[in-house]
A and B are shown apart, each in its own frame.
Chain A
Amino acid sequence: MEKRAGRIEGPARNERARMVQTVIFFGVIWTALYCLIAFGFSLLFGVAQVLNLTHGMIIMSACYVAFLLVTGLNWSLGFSLIGGVIGSVLLILIIYLGFIKKLLTAPHTSMLLLTAGLANAIQQIVILTVGPQNKFVPTMITGGTTIFSVVLSNQQILSVIVAFGLVVLLVLFFQRTRMGRAIRAVTQDRSTASLSGINAEEMYLVTIMIAGVLAGVAGLLIAPIQTVTPEIGWEMMVTAFTVTILAGLGGPIWGVVVAAAIVAYAEIITAFLIAPTLKEGAAFVIMILTLMFRPQGLFGKGRL
């Protein structure tokens, strides 16, 4: 009797173990992807206190530029990807120099309205020019790898590697390089920094460009796993936003990683245990709770 009971339990237990493994592994992947999406936004938020709601659209534009280069001009994958990143950097520069810079001293709500309006405008331009159909960015590394009987695509693994690589790079940049330290000085106190000869305006520009590169890289890594449509702009914006607010203003880079992990796992667990349809609601709930009960985020040092 006992033996038979054990055999019935066996497969079910295996199944549950496999599901737990799946959840853990995909959680890691989504943490990495959310980090990528959030980095550029949180950098700008931290350094210049700018809530750039066009960030999602900048990510999206890299995807569309790469797509157009691959299909329209028949460029090779490598060059198209570089082109995509250049595209997003150019876009963020235009947005910054043409619009954001003029409103840096205005109340934050004006920045919200401005960037929200710009984001909508960009989305409409994409719809009107490229069209609403699904587009794509070619996969960089094809094939898949099996880890503990969970199959992950190599593209996803690449994203994880790049995400964590970027964390290291960013930390090194801000701690060890002169420019990085200069930017941190400007973040702390703009006027004092100028006194020591740092050109704050230049530092802002450098930050903007880094944010643009981060956004472009994020878009190009994620697009092959998902799809390229005019809607992904706002979708990514919500994610970037939730993760950044949860991490907090002025916090360390790995704070973003932790926040990304929380959001990613909250979503997966909601989908798995509660209802798949509520998965997207999880991010909103986290956003509301954070804004209400801990507006400075988990690791933040100041408030807007």
Chain B
Amino acid sequence: METVRRELFSIMTIGILSIGLAVVAPVSGYDFYLIGLLTSACLWVIYVVCWDLLAGYTGMLNFGQLLFAGVAAYTVALIEIHLKIPRPLTMLIGLLAGILSSLLIGLPSLRVRSTYFALVSFAVLLVFFRITLTFVETFGGDYGLSIARVFSREMLYYTSIILMAATLITLRLIVKSRIGMALQCIREDEETARAVGVNIQRYKLMACLISAFFTSLAGICGFYYMGHVGPEVFGMMGSFNVVIMGVVGGAGTIFGAALGAGALSVILEFMRPIAEYRNIGYALLLVLVVMMASRGIWGSLASYFRK
């Protein structure tokens, strides 16, 4: 609760920003395009911020963040199509599935070091990609699974804003608390952390579960928004973009990651007319940031102002 008091300023900022976003909808006359864009952006912020918890704070560079979202989305899709159970229950099962899938990279993370973890996360993601493509009857193959629209655009928009705010506040509180410190200890030096009594396994798993929790919720929200889930959710591009947004925005600072996600997904939408160059732009941006400003935009700005 100490933490809450200290972080009151951040919490209020998040709150104000969210209300601001929510107001955009009616103000713009419910412009479908704008609402759609902002809904997507909110979900990306959630993905990247959850990624940051693992990569920036715990030192687990995750190349497969969307694994959780994909598992949750496919679970919900399958239930929606095949079973007739109340929707809240469907979403709950999807959420549980997503959280469980975090063990697929959580458990390996206990055994391997950061670099190898990055590769394992990548490999697990691609195995799921293969599975959805192989069992075409169940998972729809490259067509994926589609359903008719269930929730209205506005409802999904507001839900994604609330979800984003909840994620940002929760994660911010966590990283500024004792848990956050423990995670950073683990990131810096596992041996020393263990020496001072930090239970590595417990904290790593906790980070995975929390990250998967919000990512799965975002994945479910994304599924209802698109009305569709396909193998591309387990593809390299999506999760790699999460990494780029996080690194460029600033890993290890929740807000930096959020900034990276928000900026890159909105600003580059304005660059849509030259979309052919977007992929290469992203790639070069990543190279630039890794080589020159490894703390990302937020991190660099923060250290600049601190001087």
| A touching B, CB within 8 angstroms | yes
The answer to whether B115 and A108 touch across the interface, beta carbons within 8 angstroms, is yes
Min CB distance A149 to B, Å, is 32
Q: With A51-B115, A241-B119, A277-B134 known to touch, is A114 a contact of B127 (CB < 8 Å)?
A: no
C-alpha spacing A126/B219, complex, angstroms: 33
C-alpha spacing A124/B287, complex, angstroms: 14
Binary interface profile of B, 251-291, with partner A (CB < 8 Å = 1, else 0)? 00000000000000000000000001101101111110011
The answer to whether A128 and B123 touch across the interface, beta carbons within 8 angstroms, is no
Nearest neighbor of B117 in chain A, beta-carbon distance: A291
Nearest neighbor of A288 in chain B, beta-carbon distance: B123
Q: With A106-B294, A108-B114 known to touch, is A288 a contact of B120 (CB < 8 Å)?
A: yes
Binary interface profile of A, 174-210, with partner B (CB < 8 Å = 1, else 0)? 0000000000000000000000000000000000000
Interface range, B side? 35 or more
State whether the Cβ of B113 lies closer than 8 Å to any Cβ in chain A. yes
> B130 contacts which chain A residues (CB < 8 A)?
277-278, 280-281, 284
State whether the Cβ of B25 lies closer than 8 Å to any Cβ in chain A. no
The answer to whether A291 and B284 touch across the interface, beta carbons within 8 angstroms, is no
Of A114, A120, A288, the residue contacting B279 (CB under 8 A) is A120
Nearest neighbor of A109 in chain B, beta-carbon distance: B61
Min CB distance A263 to B, Å, is 13
C-alpha spacing A281/B130, complex, angstroms: 6
The answer to whether A304 and B294 touch across the interface, beta carbons within 8 angstroms, is no
State whether the Cβ of A147 lies closer than 8 Å to any Cβ in chain B. no
The answer to whether B108 and A291 touch across the interface, beta carbons within 8 angstroms, is yes
Of A114, A125, A275, A303, the residue contacting B287 (CB under 8 A) is A114
Nearest neighbor of A125 in chain B, beta-carbon distance: B280
The answer to whether B283 and A117 touch across the interface, beta carbons within 8 angstroms, is yes
> A292 contacts which chain B residues (CB < 8 A)?
108, 111-112, 120
State whether the Cβ of A121 lies closer than 8 Å to any Cβ in chain B. yes
The answer to whether B127 and A288 touch across the interface, beta carbons within 8 angstroms, is yes
The answer to whether B120 and A291 touch across the interface, beta carbons within 8 angstroms, is yes
C-alpha spacing A16/B208, complex, angstroms: 48
The answer to whether A117 and B287 touch across the interface, beta carbons within 8 angstroms, is yes
The answer to whether B112 and A295 touch across the interface, beta carbons within 8 angstroms, is yes
> A281 contacts which chain B residues (CB < 8 A)?
127, 130-131, 134
Nearest neighbor of A122 in chain B, beta-carbon distance: B283
Of A99, A121, A280, A287, the residue contacting B119 (CB under 8 A) is A287
> B243 contacts which chain A residues (CB < 8 A)?
113
C-alpha spacing A118/B111, complex, angstroms: 29
Min CB distance A116 to B, Å, is 7
State whether the Cβ of B118 lies closer than 8 Å to any Cβ in chain A. yes
> A227 contacts which chain B residues (CB < 8 A)?
none
State whether the Cβ of A130 lies closer than 8 Å to any Cβ in chain B. no
The answer to whether B290 and A291 touch across the interface, beta carbons within 8 angstroms, is no
Of A103, A113, A234, A245, the residue contacting B247 (CB under 8 A) is A113
Most buried by A among B118, B247, B287: B287
- Chain B residues numbered 176-207 whose CB sits less than 8 Å from any CB in chain A: none
Q: With A110-B290, A121-B280, A275-B134 known to touch, is A288 a contact of B124 (CB < 8 Å)?
A: yes
State whether the Cβ of B143 lies closer than 8 Å to any Cβ in chain A. no
The answer to whether B116 and A304 touch across the interface, beta carbons within 8 angstroms, is yes
State whether the Cβ of A168 lies closer than 8 Å to any Cβ in chain B. no
State whether the Cβ of A20 lies closer than 8 Å to any Cβ in chain B. no
> A120 contacts which chain B residues (CB < 8 A)?
240, 279-280, 282-283, 286
Binary interface profile of A, 268-279, with partner B (CB < 8 Å = 1, else 0)? 000000010110
Q: With A277-B134, A288-B124 known to touch, is A118 a contact of B108 (CB < 8 Å)?
A: no
Interface residues of B (CB under 8 A from A): 61, 108, 111-116, 118-120, 123-124, 126-127, 130-131, 133-134, 236, 240, 243-244, 247, 276-277, 279-280, 282-287, 290-291, 294
11 additional contacts (CB under 8 A) given A114-B287, A275-B134, A303-B113: A114-B290, A117-B284, A120-B279, A245-B119, A281-B127, A281-B130, A288-B123, A288-B124, A288-B127, A291-B112, A295-B111
Name the 9 nearest CB pairs between A and B, nearest first.
A117-B286, A124-B280, A120-B283, A121-B283, A281-B130, A117-B287, A108-B115, A277-B134, A114-B290
| A–B Cβ pairs within 8 angstroms, 6 of them | A108-B115, A120-B286, A278-B130, A284-B130, A288-B123, A291-B119
